[in-house]
Amino acid sequence: MARTFFVGGNFKLNGNKKSIKEIVERLNGASLAEDVEVVVCPPAAYLDYTVSLVNKKQLSVGAQNTYSKASGAYTGENSVDQVKDLGAKWVILGHSERRTYFHEDDKIVAEKTKFALDNGVGVILCIGETFEEKEAGITLQVVERQLNAVIAEVNDWTNVVIAYEPVWAIGTGLAATADDAQEIHASIRKFLAEKLGADAAEKIRILYGGSANGANCSTFKDKKDVDGFLVGGASLKPEFVDIVNTRK
């Protein structure tokens, strides 16, 4: 089956009203492929503003983080209900920076994923190995462990997009080759088929997210298990349009 190409832009802790307006207006004005879904994820303070700028059917807005409680005494957290109230439709969960800097383990990521899905927000679920894990040859064990935690909590994966992000390639300028990414993505899909069934696994989109940019994105376009990208720094630049149009 044909899976709709998906490109997420993770702005991380970057941007202001001026730069975000430029990014969204560039996307609004660009000739984008019809069969692509684009989600831009600004810092939480700009979610409402970003939603107000979007006027293209392929384009929507996501948060970079949400909590596993709807409301309450959780200073500094983002509520799924409040994110939805602003018009955002997705959230990035399990990003390596959340796992590393904020000590979110597999169980926390799984709980947050379940809560977001149960409350009507799609999840871009990030998985991936460190350089040390890659060198030790345990990439598949790591990503399977990360996925197993979510599988234990989530039955319906319809609104989950998986982003395979090798930690060693994020922000380093290094990147897996398209063939390497295809091999890992195919292994992830095979694992999902074993756990969730072949039909469910075939429908889940698996993105590549290790320093994807305008220069290397075209090398991935014919890889059958690479269904798009989760883009970091390049999502802040004009080349993001080229990444969105990889398969145009």
Condensed to tens digits (0 to 9), the pLDDT of residues 183-206 reads: 999 999 999 999 999 999 999 999
Which of 37, 104, 165, 185 does the annotation list as catalytic? 165
Condensed to tens digits (0 to 9), the pLDDT of residues 32-81 reads: 998 999 999 999 999 999 999 999 999 999 999 999 999 999 999 999 99
183 CB-near residues (< 8 Å, 6+ apart): none
Cα dist. 119→23, 43, 113, 203 in Å?
Answer: 29, 21, 10, 21
- Per the structure, the complete domain to which residue 103 belongs is given by 5-65+95-244
Cα dist. 71→48, 74, 82, 83 in Å?
Answer: 19, 7, 9, 12
Q: Is residue 24 part of a domain?
A: yes
8 A C-beta contact, residue 158 and residue 203: yes
CATH of residue 142? 3.20.20.70
Q: Is residue 79 part of a domain?
A: no
Condensed to tens digits (0 to 9), the pLDDT of residues 140-175 reads: 999 999 999 999 999 999 999 999 999 888 777 777
Q: Is residue 76 part of a domain?
A: no
Res 49: pLDDT? 98
Q: 6 has which bridge partners?
A: 37, 228
Res 210: pLDDT? 80
Q: Is residue 163 part of a domain?
A: yes
Res 188: pLDDT? 98
Is residue 132 annotated as a catalytic residue, yes or no?
no
Q: Is residue 48 part of a domain?
A: yes
Which of 95, 111, 129, 144 does the annotation list as catalytic? 95
C-alpha–C-alpha distance, residues 149 and 20, integer Å:
34
C-alpha–C-alpha distance, residues 44 and 178, integer Å:
32
Condensed to tens digits (0 to 9), the pLDDT of residues 86-141 reads: 999 999 999 999 999 999 999 999 999 999 999 999 999 999 999 899 889 999 99
pTM (whole model) above 0.85: yes
Number of domains in the chain: 1
Mean pLDDT, the chain, integer: 95
Q: Is residue 127 part of a domain?
A: yes
Is residue 165 annotated as a catalytic residue, yes or no?
yes
* Residue 3 reports pLDDT greater than 90: yes
Q: Is residue 225 part of a domain?
A: yes
C-alpha–C-alpha distance, residues 160 and 162, integer Å:
6
C-alpha–C-alpha distance, residues 188 and 69, integer Å:
29
Res 1: pLDDT? 59
Q: Is residue 186 part of a domain?
A: yes
Res 70: pLDDT? 96
Condensed to tens digits (0 to 9), the pLDDT of residues 202-212 reads: 999 999 998 78
